[in-house]
Amino acid sequence: MSDSVDILYGYECSYYAAKIRAYLRFKGIPFVEKHPDRKIFSAEIVKKIGFPVIPVIALSDGRVLQDTSDMIDYYESLFPERPAIPDSAPEKVVSYWLELIGDEWLKLPALHYRWTYDYDFITAEMGRNNDPSYSVADQKCIGKKIGATFHGWLPKLGVTARTKKTIEFEYLEFLNLFENHLAVVPYLLGGIPSLGDFAFYGPLYAHLCRDPYSHRLMTEHAPKVVEWIERLGICNERPRESYSREDMNRPTFIALVSHLSKDFVPTLIHEVTMLQSWLRSNRGLSVPRYFGECEFKLGRGTNHVVEEKRALMTYPQWMLQRVLDAYNSSSESDKELTFELFSKLGASALFELDIKERLVRKNYQLVQENSRLKNQ
């Protein structure tokens, strides 16, 4: 393989590697994928990024990309043909909202099903990926050590014994609504894959379609979702070259995104509001991944509603800034259309947020915008 081809370091079981892999295939961007073992992590990833993480893209010019949103922004600017992010609002704004939902909110069912029902399967795969030359017994042992970190994320997300039934109820309803939408259009925004499709593909393929228990569930309840996963996994078709505004106003789309928004929107608004206060009080300090915990609610509007604690996280604000920036930079007429659409989606309250304490990504980390660390 030529050295001029970009390298994607990732695994089939990786949530975010699935997202960027499907995107690269859709765009027709040449790349080679390598599965990083322990040696590659040490020599290639930790050495350049500073911590072990996948996916990572090593560009042919020596630069390294770590975050999938940054990756897609980079390739969209380099390869503007067949854009995955629409140029105009409200399509662009809703694309960023769907990406945020896929990247952050669909983690709940993805991690719940994996670590509740397919623990042995995934820990064996993790051990095999990390040390392919080791014995099966050693791989299983190593996989359990690696898996402990991922399993530890569940309570931080609010995935507990108390929320288990509600998460499953909400996920099955999501599958039903997505199935209904795919009965009338091939992708989320109509006839062409968009940023939201790739963000949804991450959890739906890498976790919920590959892992044995959730695979059986998806096959039984949502065969059209399985077909959508198969289409995105190949992405060798040439669909129409534009998005239809009518497709975003279809009842099936409204029902699907409203279902995902009803619990996520209030959770996100509370989290960002709390983070704004934290950032004002901690200017100049490094931005942590978590900065406390809060109560949140799942299953609004059902008889499965439940309250639980979860960690307050910083990364969702950075992604929400992308949504709000796209909205605020649009014309007044497009703002009206976007607000009207988001009102139908149960998400217009997002536009009332005033994020003065902004976050940016520098050196693969979140930092406060225009702020110098006190220890520098």
Cα separation, 207 vs 69, in Å, equals 20
Q: How far is CA 330 from CA 92, 95, 320, 321, 339, in A?
A: 10, 14, 16, 14, 11
How many residues are recorded in the chain?
376
The CA distance from 169 to 112, in Å, is 12
Would you say 83 and 239 are in contact if contact means Cβ atoms under 8 Å apart?
no
Contacts with 41 (C-beta within 8 Å, 6 or more apart), sequence order: 52, 130
> Cα(295)–Cα(312) distance, rounded to whole angstroms?
10
Spatial neighbors of 185 by CB under 8 A, at least 6 apart, are 191, 247, 250, 252, 253
Q: What is the pTM of this model?
A: 0.94
pLDDT score for 42:
86
Largest pairwise CA distance in the chain:
63
Query: What is the model's pLDDT at position 253?
Result: 97
pLDDT number for residue 230: 95
Identity of the residue numbered 369: E
The count of other CB atoms within 10 Å of the CB of residue 374 is 10
| Main-chain dihedrals φ then ψ at residue 333, nearest 5 degrees | -65, -40
- pLDDT score of 2: 45
Cα angle: 134, vertex 136, 138; to 5 degrees: 60
Is the distance from CB of 359 to CB of 278 less than 8 angstroms? no
Tell me how many degrees the CA angle 222-158-314 measures, rounded to the nearest 5.
105
Angstrom distance (rounded) from CA 299 to CA 292? 23
State the Rg of the chain over Cα.
Answer: 20
Give, for all 376 residues of the chain, the pLDDT tens digit.
Answer: 345 899 999 999 999 999 999 999 999 999 999 998 888 888 889 988 988 899 999 999 989 999 999 999 999 999 998 899 998 899 999 999 999 999 999 999 999 999 999 999 999 999 999 889 899 999 999 989 998 999 999 999 999 999 999 999 999 999 999 999 999 999 999 889 999 999 999 999 999 999 999 999 999 999 999 999 999 988 655 555 567 788 889 999 999 999 999 999 999 999 999 999 999 999 989 999 999 999 999 999 999 999 999 999 999 999 999 999 999 999 999 999 999 999 999 999 999 999 999 999 999 999 999 865 454 4
Amino acid letter for position 223: P
Report the distance separating Cα 142 and Cα 131, nearest Å: 8
Q: Which pairs from 215-218 meet CB under 8 Å and 24+ separation? A: 217/113, 217/172, 218/175
* Measured distance CA(57)–CA(9) in Å, rounded: 6
Domain layout of the chain by residue ranges: 1-376
Q: CATH for 1-376?
A: 1.20.1050.130
- Asked whether 244 and 250 are in contact (CB, 8 A), the reply is no
**C-alpha 116: how far from its chain's center?**
20
Cα separation, 126 vs 142, whole angstroms: 8
**Residue 77, Cβ neighbours under 10 Å: how many?**
8
What burial class does residue 372 get, using C-beta atoms within 10 Å of its C-beta: 0-12 exposed, 13-18 middle, 19+ buried?
A: exposed
Residue 30 φ then ψ, to 5° = -65, 135
pLDDT the model gives residue 239: 54
DSSP 354: -
What pLDDT does 3 receive? 56
Q: In this structure, are residues 68 and 38 in contact, taking their beta carbons and an 8 Å threshold?
A: no
356 close to 271: Cβ distance less than 8 angstroms: no
Which of 195, 338, 178 minimizes the C-alpha distance to 256? 178
